[in-house]
Structure 1
Amino acid sequence: MASVRMTVAVAKVLRVFLEDPSQPRYGYELMRVTGFPSGKLYPIAARLQAAGWLIKEEEDVDPSAAGRPPRRMYRLSPGGIAAARLELAALSEQLRPPPARGIRGVPLPGGEAL
């Protein structure tokens, strides 16, 4: 499984998939939930698929009965679930604010001084 450069947009897409990893998602639904246009969403999906994180399948539906063409469905691969959780946890840790520190000699609220 290849690594994926983690951007805010990639993280946002992965969070949608991780809400229910067993639930396949289709492109329009992902665009609606993330707010991303197709020109932003589909390149992300392609990168995740190329890295082995996403599996792309075509919906098994009769186009004349459904009144629409089959949808391309995406779901996280088992390795993609693990990788996405790991990467999002690492990103969350990087974004955590540093512990509060006082100016030298000025006590912190807990009474400690630096």
Structure 2
Amino acid sequence: MRLTPNALRVLALLYHDTEPHYGLSLSKTLSLGSGTLYPILDKLEDAGLLTGTWEDIDPHLAGRRPRRFYSLTGEGMRTFERERHALLATLQGGVPHA
């Protein structure tokens, strides 16, 4: 899967942030509109790089719909680390090692 800069930003945030994130929090933190963010989340989830789980709440008691929280899978962590390593190597003028 080819990762766009915005997809890498999503992976980076989920990799480095210990707080759980749901769609709206990701959208606000990354300044990405829903029309950009949700297709990225769908593609990353389909590729097995992140997983989304629905919050277990009673919408009537909470006064809102359940949120879908996203977290990186092991493969998502490894992919981000690989991409970060390749980017750093490129910025330092080297060739990334596989």
- TM-score, structure 2 normalization: 0.85
- 1:47-72 Cα offsets, whole Å, 9 max, x none, are 11011001111111111121101011
Residue 16 of structure 2 corresponds to residue 12 of structure 1: no
The correspondence for 1:35, drawn from 31, 35, 41, is: 31
The residue matched to 1:57 in structure 2 has which SS?
strand
Q: Which residue of 2 aligns with 1:55?
A: 51
Letter in 2 for 1:31: S
Which protein has greater RCO, CA pairs closer than 8 Å, 6+ apart?
2
Q: Shift of the alpha carbon at 1:86? A: 1.3
> Of the candidates 80, 83, 93, which is equivalent to residue 79 of structure 2?
83
Which stretches in structure 1 are left out of the alignment for 5+ residues?
A: 100-114
Q: Give the letter for the 1:9 counterpart.
A: N
> What is the correspondence of 1:82-101 to structure 2 with a 5 Å cutoff?
82-94=78-90, 96-98=91-93
Question: How far off its partner does 1:36 sit?
Answer: 0.5
Separation of aligned partners in 2, 1:65 and 1:86: 43
- Post-superposition Cα deviations, 1:38-93, rounded to whole Å, max 9, x if no partner, equal 01001111111011001111111111121101011111112211221112221232
Aligned Cα root-mean-square deviation (Å): 1.7
Aligned position for 2:69: 73
- Which stretches in structure 2 are left out of the alignment for 5+ residues? none
AA aligned opposite 1:91 = L
Structure-1 separation of matches of 2:30 and 2:53:
20
